[in-house]
Every structure is written in C-alpha cells, then in structure tokens.
Amino acid sequence: LNTIEELNLSIKFNYNVCRYLWLQNNTEEAITKITDTIKQCKMYRTTYLLADLYVLMGNVSKNFSSKVAVKDYFETAYFLYKLEGNMSMALKIEHYIADLTE
C-alpha cells in the first residue's frame, strides 16, 4: 500500500467483507477477516474504522463468547470512539455495555 487513501480503501473493503460474512452467518471467516484487518490497522498505525471493527467483533462473538470477552471488544470500541471525538457512537456503545452488565 503506497498511500493513505489506498490503506483506507483496503481497510474499508475488508470491513465491508467482514460485515457481509457476519450477516451471512459465516462466523469463522468473519472472525479471521476481522482479526486480520485489526492487525493491518495496528501494523500501519491507523485507527481508521478500528472502533467499527471492534464493534463488529463484539457482535460476531456475542452468541458464543463470554460476556467478559464481548464487553472487552465493546469497551475498546468505546475508548476509540471517545478518542476520535465521536460521542454519538460512544454513547451507543455505552448503552450496549450497560445491557451486557445487566
């Protein structure tokens, strides 16, 4: 990847593939693709769609993972949204977290 635009397009494409896999109930492939995309974000030191990827991982894993693990994904997303100043999404995630702890 040579430019920021190419990196962002790659991450956005991968995110959309991950979401499609999740919606098609292809959980194993979704988890693999989400994990790879999170690694890509970390490797290139970008937070572009990183919070969204953690939300997606929480959604993908909520039917079989422990509440603690799912809550960790949502808390990571919450932190990233607050860091970005995206208070709308931060509040939505805060609501998800509250539902998990009830």
- Full set of structural domains in the chain with CATH: 4-101 (1.25.40.10)
Who's near 22: CB < 8 A, 6+ residues apart? 30, 56, 59, 60
CA–CA gap between residue 11 and residue 88 (Å, rounded): 22
Condensed to tens digits (0 to 9), the pLDDT of residues 11-60 reads 999 999 999 999 999 999 999 999 999 999 999 999 999 999 999 999 99
The model's pTM is 0.93
